[in-house]
Amino acid sequence: MSAPDWLTARPVAHRGLHDRARSIIENMPGAAQAAVSGNFAIECDIQLTADGEAMVHHDDALGRLTEGSGPLLGMTASELRAVRFKDTSERMMSLGDLCALVNGRVPLVIEVKSHFDGDRKLVKRMAEVLSSYDGPAVGMSFDPDQVEALRKLIPSRPRGIVAERHYTEADWPEASPAQRRGMTHLRHFFRSRPDFIAYWVDELPAAAPWIARNIFGCPLLTWTVRTPVQREWASRYADQMIFEGFLP
């Protein structure tokens, strides 16, 4: 499968079009609705719950942006749907809730969060949700094993690898040394077989994404673009940006 043209046709709002000053928090329903209203694609994150649901949230624990505390993996979807974002009346949503809200109006770029333990339950649930969703959507992950799972479990949807140049133990404590080495320089490319690359803007240009883009034809997204300098870098080295903090 090759990546569709719509993947790079419009800027991608990082975790939705959020704006803390207006009480619109990342990955909450209001951020998704704001992106739809602005006609931007939506990048979002999904996390697994104790009962196998896919919830839209970046962190694997409550507390930074939400009320409450504790790991999402220790809570049920019902419990997490009751969790409120700080200083708002909005509550956490599932991937199914997000699909119902967006209803195909803009593309979804869904990042599968991973504990690097080989568990594929989150991708399996994503496959179930997307099987009845007709809108444009792709999956991606930092974890090559999850990208491979996307290829095998959701073959009809494009999938991508999220990548950067270096993977340290401090930043990636759940990944083993062997996993971190395998992620470096897209060494897993012929195993994970991504359809597109999402690479850190501050580390462009780089050899691995250049080869993937120019030799193997993988479109290149870049994250997270926040400044005019990063925007110039994105336009020079990538096909589209994943942005936040401004309106393109």
pLDDT digits (tens, 9 = 90+) for 123-144: 999 999 999 999 999 999 999 9
Task: Give bridge partners of residue 55 from the DSSP assignment.
Answer: 47, 94
* Phi-psi sector, 215: left (phi>0), alpha (psi -120 to 50), beta: alpha
Domain edges within the chain: 5-243
Q: For position 2, what pLDDT does the model report?
A: 82
Q: What is the rounded CA–CA span in Å between residue 146 and residue 58?
A: 16
Query: How do residues 59-94 score in pLDDT, each as one tens digit?
Result: 999 999 999 999 999 999 999 999 999 999 999 999
Residue 74's closest CA among 112, 47, 44?
47
User: For residue 223, what are the CA distances in angstroms to 60, 85, 227?
Assistant: 20, 24, 11
Q: What are the DSSP calls for 139-205, one per residue?
A: EEES-HHHHHHHHHH-TTS-EEEEE-S---TTT-TTS-HHHHHHHGGGTTHHHH--SEEEEEGGG-S
Q: Are 153 and 120 in contact (CB under 8 A)?
A: yes
| pTM score over 0.85 | yes
Query: How do residues 22-58 score in pLDDT, each as one tens digit?
Result: 999 999 999 999 999 999 999 999 999 999 999 999 9
Q: For position 164, what pLDDT does the model report?
A: 98
Amino acid at position 196, single letter: F
Q: For position 45, what pLDDT does the model report?
A: 98
DSSP 227: S
Whether 217 has a pLDDT exceeding 80, the answer reads yes
SS3 64: coil
Give percent above pLDDT 90 in the chain: 99
Amino acid at position 26, single letter: E
Topology of the domain covering 5-243: TIM Barrel (3.20.20)
Whether 178 has a pLDDT exceeding 90, the answer reads yes
The length of the chain in residues reads 248
For the chain, give the mean pLDDT: 97
Report the 10 Å Cβ neighbour count for 117. Answer: 10
Whether 1 has a pLDDT exceeding 80, the answer reads no
